[in-house]
Amino acid sequence: MKASWGQLIARTLFWFLIVTIGFVLISRVIIFGFSEELSRAIKMYRWRRLNDEFITFVIISVLPVLVHYIMCLFSTHRNANQSV
């Protein structure tokens, strides 16, 4: 079975985004759940909406997940297009 890049991305991108959003939110709650000082920062976040620290946290959290997703796409594409 041959698979194009478009087919692979179309089948996996939605779930990748859902899992990534869940990962970022859960990791944020875990990190802030163990620190009283960071807990106060969450309260400030609620008042100021998006702050620089949150955006930095999201970038640092999402970058490794994005690299992993791309690596999985490459290996899946290679395996799907191998001659049997």
pLDDT (tens digit per residue) in 50-84: 667 777 877 888 888 899 999 999 988 888 888 65
Instruction: Give the residue carrying structure tokens 């049997």.
Output: 84
**Domain regions of the chain by residue span:** 5-79
Is 80 exceeded by the pLDDT of residue 7? yes
Q: How far apart are CA 55 and CA 14, in angstroms?
A: 21
Contact 80, 2 (CB under 8 A): yes
Per-residue pLDDT reduced to its tens digit, 18-56:
998 898 888 877 877 777 666 666 665 555 566 677 778
Is 90 exceeded by the pLDDT of residue 14? yes
Q: Dihedral of CA 47/43/18/13: which sign?
A: positive
Whole-number pLDDT of residue 5:
87
Q: How far apart are CA 84 and CA 70, in angstroms?
A: 24
Whole-number pLDDT of residue 59:
84
